[in-house]
Amino acid sequence: MKIYKLSIFLVIIFFCSGTIHSFADAPKTLDECLDLARKNNYQMRQLDFEREVKRLRLKSAWNRIFPQIGFNMGYSNAKTVTYAPEIESQSGEYTAGLSLTQSLFTSGANWSSIKQAQNNYQIIEYKYIETENSVSLRLKMKYYQVLRNKNLGQTRQSAVKRKENNLALIKLLYQVGNEKKTNLSQAEIDRDRAKYDLLSAENNLRISLARLNEEMGREPDAPLEIIEELSYNEYEFNEKEAFTQAFNWRPDLKQKELNIEIAELDKISARSDFLPTMALSANYTWKDTDFFPERSGWNGKFTVSFPISNGFPLYTALKEKYINVDSLKLQKEELERKITADVQEVCINLSLSDKNVEISRKSLTVAQERESLARLEYSQGRISYREFEDIEVNLSKAETDWVESIYGYEIAKANFEYTIGKRGNK
């Protein structure tokens, strides 16, 4: 019996320790959630591999300008037969050689390849930043939704307590004959409705927590307890600076600029097919009939190549490069116009959201004061239950509007930082 009880105790301890460990590992703040989301995001992990590939290609591009060294070994055997008179001879020869080749001038083709590899590596870096910013924006949307639903749950709890207090007051007035039965029934309905709203808010919180877990790459039902609260923190910004920052920070714009530069380098590479190239090579050779050759010799060669005609495909390829540059420049101009409109929009939205917070704060203060006075007036019979209930409903609406205004302000801030291309959106 003692062994059985001990086993049950150990099982309980095991599960409890696992739960405690899960809560200990769970993120609790916005920064922790952002770090986990970036770490587990598939696209960002994939870009890590692509970044390594581009780094290796950059290294390969640099290797092309260094000397190329080679070594070769061989054996040849020749048999000769003559028929007048018939003579047969056979000879074998061992050879070994060391060669060195250095490209001296390629009309800019090699340096163009290096610069293109550097730009391709930078493009991957900006793609990584762009993906990181997108992940941060989606995470913030879901994170602030959790805080919003958490605060709405708290307002619903306050509403339930008020409804229960109202019901208790009406029951007392009904017992002394100062209130109608219909108003008592209505108060019970209002209390039940407030409880339903609270249950709905709790369910919405659970759903938003599951969505937040999903965005971070965790199981939807994994333990998660966010310790931060939804609160108003004024965000200072300057519209003129926002435009400057957007054109300096936006990773998609940086990618366009690098792609234009790559296209310009493609023009250099295409033109190099029409221009001369120079190279230097040297060989040192061993040759003999023995396995360890004793006869040796060397030679050096300087080569200048002048292309005369490679056909019309080279001309059409060069023309295509010029067209591609013009097309990319047009795309960049269109993106710049879109960025200008986007920045203007988020600045307006952020300003309006800030004003909405101020209005909601004042409305909440007035509603709270009015509700306190109305409760006293109703208990003294100076206003009807319906008037009292309307004031109560107005308070609940003001509480909800206050939460929604802060939530909207935080979302406006997140969109603003994403639009100007702020790294990490922290």
Give yes or no for residue 398 having a pLDDT over 90. Answer: yes
Task: Work out the average pLDDT over 250-272.
Answer: 85
Tell me which H or E stretch contains 143: helix 109-175
Residue for token digits 């008179």?
85
Minimum mean pLDDT range among 16-30, 116-130, 232-246 = 16-30
**Which of residues 284 and 172 earns the better pLDDT score?**
172
**Which of residues 325 and 305 earns the better pLDDT score?**
325
Q: Note the pTM of the prediction, 2 decimals.
A: 0.78
Q: Which residues does residue 100 pair with via DSSP β-bridges, in sequence order?
A: 69, 282
Q: Give the SS3 label for residue 376.
A: helix
Token reading at 182: 């219909």
Q: What is the DSSP string of 299-342?
A: EEEEEEE------HHHHHHHHHHHHHHHHHHHHHHHHHHHHHHH
Task: Provide the 10 A C-beta neighbour count for residue 55.
Answer: 14
Question: What is the chain's alpha carbon radius of gyration, rounded to the nearest angstrom?
Answer: 39
Q: Give the SS3 label for residue 148.
A: helix
Which of 146, 141, 160, 233 shows the shortest CA–CA distance to 399?
A: 160
Q: Is the peptide bond before 85 cis (omega within 30 degrees of 0)?
A: yes
Task: Work out the average pLDDT over 99-111.
Answer: 68
Distance of CA 280 to the CA centre of its chain: 49
> What is residue 190's predicted lDDT score, i.e. its pLDDT?
93
User: Phi/psi class of residue 41: alpha, beta or left (left: φ > 0; alpha: ψ in -120 to 50)?
Assistant: beta
**Domains plus CATH for the chain?**
2-40+106-273+310-425 (1.20.1600.10)
Task: Work out the average pLDDT over 233-242.
Answer: 91
User: CA dihedral in degrees (152, 158, 159, 161; nearest 10)?
Assistant: 150
Token reading at 336: 């710049």
Minimum mean pLDDT range among 8-12, 34-38, 89-93, 230-234 = 8-12
Token reading at 134: 């997108």
Q: Which residues does residue 302 pair with via DSSP β-bridges, in sequence order?
A: 280
Q: Please report which confidence band the pLDDT of residue 426 belongs to, taking 50, 70 and 90 as the band edges.
A: very low
Task: Work out the average pLDDT over 328-342.
Answer: 95
Q: Please report which confidence band the pLDDT of residue 206 belongs to, taking 50, 70 and 90 as the band edges.
A: very high
How far apart CA 287 and CA 72 sit, in angstroms, is: 12
